Amino acid sequence: MQLCANKLDKKDFFGKSDPFLVFYRSNEDGTFTICHKTEVVKNTLNPVWQPFSIPVRVLCNGDYDRTVKIDVYDWDRDGSHDFIGEFTTSYRELSKAQNQFTVYEVLNPRKKCKKKKYVNSGTVTLLSFSVDSEFTFVDYIKGGTQLNFTVAIDFTASNGNPLQPTSLHYMSPYQLSAYAMALKAVGEIIQDYDSDKLFPAYGFGAKLPPEGRISHQFPLNNNDEDPNCAGIEGVLESYFQSLRTVQLYGPTYFAPVINQVARAAAKISDGSQYYVLLIITDGVISDMTQTKEAIVSASSLPMSIIIVGVGPAMFEAMEELDGDDVRLSSRGRYAERDIVQFVPFRDYVDRSGNQVLSMARLAKDVLAEIPEQLLSYMRTRDIQPRPPPPANPSPTPAPEHP
């Protein structure tokens, strides 16, 4: 909304007033809570304030008839701002200004009591008012947007021999490895948003039998035609099977699997599908330049990348890919959106050895950015959620025959 004022009371001895507005939401108990302040417009009795936005719930808690009180003050450097006057309105009344200007009288109760001829302390005019709907992650999921979850696991030699207890891939009969825990923690939550529960799962950086070919995107289930695994349990099963059959090797290339998911994401841009790639790695990356290029290209597509770092490495390269502090760029081109979320697994390991707790903490942080990343894609493409399908009415029972 945007407001201006006219003929406000002069409060400063030298010069005019320096007016600003304070908005208050009324509470159930009759008290008021500040919910917005405008900027100060210096040395004028006829200020025009900048347009501003405020969530409806902040202004009136969703109650369109709840009182909104607006105070007009004259700004003073020492903080003892002078009260010029006040007026009240409501969300419903403000929204009428979509069709016409609304003028409010600014009244000062003390002046009104003292002066018989007092009319007002000026007027405030609502110049413009518009309402935009802000959709949530849940709105898109209810409208049928599917999350497509793909897994990529680091099978490079730097992880250590899977038969040795020191390996990050060690298959202990008693507990899950860091790789298996990260996969289970994130996957078990994401699978609830994926209707077919079929997950393409790949490994990278291994030598494959029989001829020892090095691959940077081999299907964990050994099926090139259909890399889908049934549920997270199916992914884990294929992961364990691959550990028994392939040779951990190198180098560590992320770009091939990122580009593979990006190709799938590029085919469907109507908001009905969103792709999430989970990469689990020990963090030693060999194709940083190509990976940056792949991420920058993918930032315009409906996809997010989660990188979970396992093991003791310093993960500076992964932090750079995350792009939280500095927007990722490649060859002078900047990522359109931040689509990478990196977390080091060691930060979530429960000291008491409680794996369930470790996994819950990891999943919470890893998935925290996905809703906003999905929303940022939908906003930049101006895609609105589809209306949720009508709930199936319960069938009418057939009448019983006597």
Predicted confidence at residue 264, as pLDDT, reads 96
Higher pLDDT, 390 or 62: 62
Delineate the domains of the chain, giving CATH numbers in brackets: 2-128 (2.60.40.150), 137-381 (3.40.50.410)
Q: Span 165-175, mean pLDDT?
A: 91
Q: Any idea of the CA torsion for 313, 364, 230, 268, to the nearest 10 degrees?
A: -100
Mean pLDDT of the chain: 91
102-139 tens-digit pLDDT = 899 999 998 888 888 899 999 999 999 998 888 899 99
**Residue 350 predicted with pLDDT over 90:** no
End-to-end CA gap in the chain: 67
DSSP-assigned letter for residue 249: B
**Residue 368 predicted with pLDDT over 70:** yes
On the CB side of 161, how many CA atoms lie within 13 Å of its CA? 3
Q: Are 172 and 165 in contact (CB under 8 A)?
A: yes
**Residue 13 predicted with pLDDT over 70:** no
Q: Span 6-12, mean pLDDT?
A: 87
Tell me the backbone φ, ψ of residue 71, rounded to 5 degrees: -100, 145
**Residue 400 predicted with pLDDT over 60:** no
Angle at 307 between CA 301 and CA 312, to 5 degrees: 165
Higher pLDDT, 298 or 61: 298
Predicted confidence at residue 12, as pLDDT, reads 67
Query: pLDDT band for position 399 (50/70/90)?
Result: low
**Residue 189 predicted with pLDDT over 90:** no
Place of tokens 């079929």: 198
Q: Are 223 and 258 in contact (CB under 8 A)?
A: no
Q: Are 93 and 20 in contact (CB under 8 A)?
A: no
Q: Are 291 and 259 in contact (CB under 8 A)?
A: no
How far apart CA 44 and CA 106 sit, in angstroms, is 16
Predicted confidence at residue 113, as pLDDT, reads 85
326-349 tens-digit pLDDT = 889 999 999 999 999 999 988 888
Predicted confidence at residue 87, as pLDDT, reads 97
Query: pLDDT band for position 397 (50/70/90)?
Result: low
191-213 tens-digit pLDDT = 888 888 999 999 999 999 999 99
CA nearest to 155, candidates 215, 213, 200:
215
Q: Span 351-366, mean pLDDT?
A: 84
Q: Are 220 and 202 in contact (CB under 8 A)?
A: yes
30-81 tens-digit pLDDT = 899 999 999 999 999 999 999 999 999 899 988 999 999 999 999 998 889 9
How far apart CA 64 and CA 108 sit, in angstroms, is 26
| Cα Dmax for the chain | 101
Residues 6+ apart with CB under 8 A from 379: none
361: left (phi over 0), alpha (psi -120 to 50) or beta: alpha
84-100 tens-digit pLDDT = 999 999 999 998 876 77
Predicted confidence at residue 394, as pLDDT, reads 55
* Burial state string for 265-304 with b = 16 or more CB within 10 A and e = fewer than 16: beeeeebebbbbbbbbbbbbbebeebbbbbbbbbbbbbbb
Query: pLDDT band for position 398 (50/70/90)?
Result: low
**Residue 180 predicted with pLDDT over 60:** yes
Q: Is 122 exposed, middle or buried (0-12, 13-18, 19+ CB in 10 A)?
A: buried
Query: pLDDT band for position 178 (50/70/90)?
Result: confident
How far apart CA 257 and CA 343 sit, in angstroms, is 19
Q: Are 28 and 153 in contact (CB under 8 A)?
A: no
The two structure tokens encoding residue 85? 């006057």
Predicted confidence at residue 395, as pLDDT, reads 55
Predicted confidence at residue 162, as pLDDT, reads 94
Predicted confidence at residue 15, as pLDDT, reads 74
Distances (CA, A) of 219 to 116, 164, 235, 364: 87, 24, 10, 28
226-274 tens-digit pLDDT = 999 999 999 999 999 999 999 999 999 999 999 999 999 999 999 999 9
Predicted confidence at residue 33, as pLDDT, reads 94
CA nearest to 301, candidates 272, 274, 334:
274
How far apart CA 290 and CA 259 sit, in angstroms, is 10
Higher pLDDT, 223 or 175: 223
